[in-house]
Every structure is written in structure tokens, then in C-alpha cells.
């Protein structure tokens, strides 16, 4: 079967660092996406990992371990505007679509 | 990238009626998808809209309930038929765009929030 687990909610302080974990089980795996979704808005692309390791993009970094079925999204120097849901999504072999996790709702507090 | 326009952005509907959601993309795309996002949940794929042929539906979704049209490479519609309160949800149109690394990135419309009374 297929399954993606990520924490439902997290809270962090402005200026701090937060790591959002995601574990996945899929029948065939091409890569892993992270999307950000602010309340009432469309999801927007953050990152894509296909190889093991860390991909850094400004304040956001994403890590993948294919052998462990594990990824994380690291947000540095948190800002209030980073309060959003963060969706982990697996790109499955032979499928046209992404399989999404339920998302992690991050709240950044002053 | 792709810019996606969806309408209506929101609507309140009566039980038993049907509503058609339109999705317009600013460029020709091969892959178009319709997702549902129920309150507090993540995105669930309803179907892949295929140009010139019938849509491909995911398990749990059927054509009679969610008929889809895809007359060309820039436009699609999703109809939610015979609505019930359980259909209250956000419906999102999405397209896949291949970048130079041949990575398929999804772009989403802003969604259509339906409330069924």
C-alpha cells in the first residue's frame, strides 16, 4: 500500500529553525515534493528531491533518504509569513499524480 | 511555470443540484488534474483530465458523480453532480509542467470552495 506520515501541527518561534519530518511508503518511488499552502490559497511548490541528501534553497532546505523512506523540510530564520500548511508528496512510479500527505500546519509565534 | 484560473472561486449550493467548475491555463499542458481538499485534510486526486478522451478516475470517484471535460490543452471543467453536504470541499485544478531537468512540478489553481446546504 501507500502511506505518508507527517505531524499534524507544529509551533515555532519567529527567528528560530523548525524541521518538519515526513515518512513515506509507496509502491515505486521517483522523488519527493514539498508544497506550502497558506490558508485559503493554492499549494505552491517548495522543493523536489530525487537523490539522497540535502537540497538548499534560501531559508528552506529539504532532505531525502530513499533507503529510510524519510524526508524533512527545514525552515530557518522563521518569519510570521511562514505560518502555513506544509505538504509532503511522493512522486510514484507509473502514476500520473502525486500522493499527498495530510500536511503539517505550522504556526509561527512572536 | 503556469498560471491557472479557476471559477467560481466559491459558491453555496443547494442539495441535489449540480455545479460546473472551470479551469483555464495560460499555456498548453498535457497533464491536467482535479483534486479535492476536504476541510482539514490534504489533497485527494479525483481524476486526470485527458484531452480528447474520457477522464481517468481514481478509486472512489466515478464519472456519473464527477463528469469532466477536456476539450483542448488549456481548458477543463469538473462538474459535481447531485450534490450533498458531504461534497462541501475545495476543488482544485492542477497542471503538470516539466522543467529543464524533466521534473514534473504541479501548479495549482486557487481552488473553488463549495458549500452544499
HSE-CB at B36 with a 13 A cutoff on CA atoms is: 17
- Chain A residues within 8 A of B93 when measuring between CB atoms: none
**What are the tens digits of pLDDT across the range B7-29?**
999 999 999 999 999 999 999 98
DSSP code string of B23-55: EEESS--S-EEEEEE-TT--EEEEEEEPTTSPP
Q: Which of A6, A96, A99, A105 to mutate to test the interface with B (most CBs of B within 10 A)?
A: A96
Q: What is the mean pLDDT of residues B60-85?
A: 95
- Asked if A44 reaches chain B (Cβ–Cβ under 8 Å), the answer is yes
Q: Which of B42, B92, B110 to mutate to test the interface with A (most CBs of A within 10 A)?
A: B42
Please answer whether residues A99 and A1 qualify as being in contact, where contact means their C-beta atoms are separated by less than 8 angstroms. Answer: no
- Chain A residues within 8 A of B38 when measuring between CB atoms: none
Which of A67-76, A78-87, B48-57, B73-82 bottoms out in mean pLDDT, i.e. has the lowest?
Answer: B48-57
| pLDDT, position A79 | 97
| pLDDT, position A94 | 67
**What are the tens digits of pLDDT across the range A16-48?**
999 999 999 987 888 999 999 998 788 888 999
Q: What is the mean pLDDT of residues A51-68?
A: 94
Strands A18-25 and A3-5: what pairing?
antiparallel
Instruction: Note whether B106 contacts A45, CB cutoff 8 Å.
Output: yes
Q: Give percent above pLDDT 90 in chain A.
A: 70
| pLDDT, position A93 | 72
Cell numbers 500548511 correspond to A85
| pLDDT, position B36 | 94
Q: What is the mean pLDDT of residues A76-99?
A: 87
Instruction: Note whether B92 contacts A42, CB cutoff 8 Å.
Output: yes
- Asked if A41 reaches chain B (Cβ–Cβ under 8 Å), the answer is yes
User: Residue B96 pLDDT more than 90?
Assistant: no
Amino acid at each position: 500500500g501507500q502511506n505518508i506520515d507527517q505531524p499534524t501541527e507544529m509551533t515555532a518561534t519567529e527567528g528560530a529553525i523548525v524541521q518538519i519530518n515526513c515518512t513515506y511508503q509507496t509502491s515505486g518511488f521517483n522523488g519527493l515534493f514539498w508544497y506550502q499552502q497558506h490558508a485559503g490559497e493554492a499549494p505552491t511548490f517548495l522543493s523536489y528531491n530525487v537523490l539522497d541528501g540535502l537540497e538548499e534553497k534560501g531559508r528552506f532546505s529539504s532532505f531525502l533518504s530513499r533507503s529510510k523512506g524519510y524526508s524533512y523540510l527545514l525552515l530557518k530564520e522563521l518569519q510570521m509569513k511562514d505560518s502555513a500548511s506544509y505538504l509532503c508528496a511522493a512522486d510514484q512510479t507509473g502514476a500520473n499524480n502525486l500522493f499527498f500527505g495530510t500536511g503539517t500546519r505550522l504556526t509561527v509565534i512572536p | 511555470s503556469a498560471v491557472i484560473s479557476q471559477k467560481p472561486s466559491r459558491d453555496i449550493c443547494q442539495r441535489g443540484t449540480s455545479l460546473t467548475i472551470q479551469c483555464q491555463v495560460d499555456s498548453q499542458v498535457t497533464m491536467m488534474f482535479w483534486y479535492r481538499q476536504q476541510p482539514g485534510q490534504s489533497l485527494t486526486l479525483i481524476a486526470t483530465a485527458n484531452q480528447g478522451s474520457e477522464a481517468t478516475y481514481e478509486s472512489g470517484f466515478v464519472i456519473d458523480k464527477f463528469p469532466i471535460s477536456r476539450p483542448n490543452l488549456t481548458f477543463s471543467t469538473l462538474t459535481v453532480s447531485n450534490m450533498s453536504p458531504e461534497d462541501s470541499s475545495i476543488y482544485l485544478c492542477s497542471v503538470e509542467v516539466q522543467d529543464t531537468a524533466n521534473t514534473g512540478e504541479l501548479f495549482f489553481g486557487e481552488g473553488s470552495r463549495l458549500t452544499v446546504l
